[in-house]
Chains A and B, each alone.
Chain A
């Protein structure tokens, strides 16, 4: 795509009700790269993504897209630049794949505007890119978990945003489908230059696929940078409270974390 957009979190404090989850957090998402947020459960990684996606409004500080506060900008314009795939999107019962993907065109259509050929092209390309073209006229209800996740990603693709936020896109998928989804996201990043920020649970998959890692602990950012620099036994101990051995992944050279437990101490 065209010019890279910059997404920054500027000293943001974010929480739910009385509870502060992120405090004074600051980071810049590298444009045109695939960034992954990692951390233990309840460390605030999904909260961070939700704040970036303007689902949560920071109590102090701000989330800035090209220097403007995302929650103050016209919602539709932000939606043309910044896409989101939430953790549990809802597929209306009985909806057909092509129609669901077509809903990604929402921010590009006026209230009474008709469906255009550009919309048709965007949907066809998205279906193709996500490898679900042959499912186009199937009902979403009858798809497997992996197929369904690819359909949702196709919907996000049809939105044609330069920045895409993915909240745990691999949850509930088996390992083959996890790899498939991450390959797809990587294609998108490499071929279109889409800036991707994803929350992932699996540190090893994160280390392999990410260009850039944000490691979080208790609502703070404890490390950021390329996986080869960030993922160390010390970091894993700090962030996950887990003893581990970190070796180079024989297939990709990325760091590979081998967890140690009481029965497997590596000694």
Chain B
């Protein structure tokens, strides 16, 4: 970059051309990684299946144990990709909306709000099916977001990133003790809830995917549409207003999208922590701070992370399984500590 020849275009144009090309390369790499993760997820597990058997099972030629294992793993893989993408996207949007590097559906209390709603539904209203979980989770996620936003807005300066994160953390703590209070005396509820609570994609079916897919699609559309608004919001509310952005409207639109994604993901796979926190940081490292790139990249990275975490959970505890929510927590916790220790933690 130090040598300058007279024929080169001026610095800004050159720089952007270079970074644009680099982003496309990264995008191709991320897509390739998604494909690799998908193949690995179908091939590995309690039983390792050869690539030939995978192909055979997928085109429907083979019968037998290998083929059966593959067919069972396909919906699981699809669900892991979808949930991972949804959580990564939701995390990137939440970090943008709150201008907070710790903004994550988990930290802002949204995941726990969805959990509390589902648990209450199971315990008091006897809900047992996934569509019911989805609606309860979405209502819980939405109400919690509003609640956290209102609590975080109290006092001078309105909803600052730090206050939002604190309000979210306090809400998460309170709700998680409520969840325990509901569950502990109720063995029956505990059993229904236990598998869902930890966070897993092991029980994936095409039916379950079909139920959450519409919510994920709408959530994705809303969040991707708000990318430019998030770019403006990143400069501060005053400047965003000066650039012609309706600050409140842009925030609400993006947040609704993120709540749909996080709520639907939580409903189908339980509360999975840290994907939404870690993934956007990785995405920004690679493609910079432009949300039109960060958002799709977070979705892809989230899909890869969750799918691989699921594979790890299946492989390390053979013949049993470790739920994916536990694996992501193990991966995410150190990253969270590293982020929290950084100096500019409340700014983004």
A111-B13 in contact given A54-B241, A78-B244, A86-B236 (Cβ < 8 Å): no
The answer to whether A75 touches B246, judged by C-beta atoms less than 8 angstroms apart, is yes
* Total cross-chain contacts (CB, 8 A): 110
The answer to whether B225 touches A137, judged by C-beta atoms less than 8 angstroms apart, is no
A106-B238 in contact given A75-B246, A90-B347, A137-B15 (Cβ < 8 Å): no
Q: Which of A54, A98, A99 contacts B289 (CB 8 A)?
A: A99
Q: Answer yes or no: B76 CB below 8 A from chain A CBs.
A: no
Give the size range of A's interface with the partner: 35 or more
The answer to whether A53 touches B232, judged by C-beta atoms less than 8 angstroms apart, is no
Contact partners of B1 in chain A: CB under 8 A? 137
Q: Answer yes or no: A89 CB below 8 A from chain B CBs.
A: yes
Q: Taking CB as reference atom, which chain B residue is nearest A126?
A: B12
CB distance from B161 to the nearest CB of A (A): 10
Query: Most chain-B Cβ atoms within 10 A of its Cβ — which of A54, A82, A94?
Result: A94
The answer to whether A120 touches B13, judged by C-beta atoms less than 8 angstroms apart, is yes
Q: How far is the CA of A96 from the CA of B288 in the complex (A)?
A: 9
Q: How far is the CA of A85 from the CA of B242 in the complex (A)?
A: 8
CB distance from A148 to the nearest CB of B (A): 13
Q: Answer yes or no: A109 CB below 8 A from chain B CBs.
A: yes
Interface membership of chain A positions 117-139, coded 1 if the CB is closer than 8 angstroms to chain B and 0 otherwise: 00010011001000001101100
Q: How far is the CA of A56 from the CA of B208 in the complex (A)?
A: 48
Interface membership of chain A positions 137-162, coded 1 if the CB is closer than 8 angstroms to chain B and 0 otherwise: 10000000000000000000001000
The answer to whether A111 touches B225, judged by C-beta atoms less than 8 angstroms apart, is yes
The answer to whether A106 touches B16, judged by C-beta atoms less than 8 angstroms apart, is no
CB distance from B254 to the nearest CB of A (A): 13
Q: Taking CB as reference atom, which chain A residue is nearest B249?
A: A75
Q: Taking CB as reference atom, which chain B residue is nearest A84?
A: B242
Q: How far is the CA of A183 from the CA of B344 in the complex (A)?
A: 33
Q: Answer yes or no: B58 CB below 8 A from chain A CBs.
A: no
Q: How far is the CA of A111 from the CA of B14 in the complex (A)?
A: 25
Q: Answer yes or no: B321 CB below 8 A from chain A CBs.
A: no
Interface membership of chain A positions 78-119, coded 1 if the CB is closer than 8 angstroms to chain B and 0 otherwise: 111011111111111111111101111011010100000000
The answer to whether B244 touches A98, judged by C-beta atoms less than 8 angstroms apart, is no
A83-B12 in contact given A90-B235, A103-B232 (Cβ < 8 Å): no
The answer to whether A124 touches B13, judged by C-beta atoms less than 8 angstroms apart, is yes
The answer to whether A92 touches B234, judged by C-beta atoms less than 8 angstroms apart, is yes
The answer to whether A159 touches B12, judged by C-beta atoms less than 8 angstroms apart, is no
Q: Which of A50, A76, A98, A106 contacts B15 (CB 8 A)?
A: A98
Q: How far is the CA of A85 from the CA of B238 in the complex (A)?
A: 8
Q: How far is the CA of A208 from the CA of B221 in the complex (A)?
A: 53
Q: Answer yes or no: A55 CB below 8 A from chain B CBs.
A: yes
Q: Which of A79, A86, A134, A159 contacts B238 (CB 8 A)?
A: A86
Q: Taking CB as reference atom, which chain B residue is nearest A76?
A: B244
Q: Which of B177-234 contact A (CB under 8 A)?
A: 225, 228, 231-232, 234
Contact partners of B344 in chain A: CB under 8 A? 93
Query: Most chain-A Cβ atoms within 10 A of its Cβ — which of B238, B284, B288?
Result: B238
Q: Answer yes or no: B239 CB below 8 A from chain A CBs.
A: yes
Contact partners of B15 in chain A: CB under 8 A? 96, 98, 136-137
Q: Which 3 A-B pairs have the closest CB atoms?
A: A79-B244, A84-B242, A86-B238
**Contact residues of A with B, CB < 8 Å?**
50, 53-55, 75-80, 82-99, 101-104, 106-107, 109, 111, 120, 123-124, 127, 133-134, 136-137, 159, 165
**Contact residues of B with A, CB < 8 Å?**
1, 10-16, 19, 99, 101, 225, 228, 231-232, 234-236, 238-239, 241-246, 284, 288-290, 344, 347-348
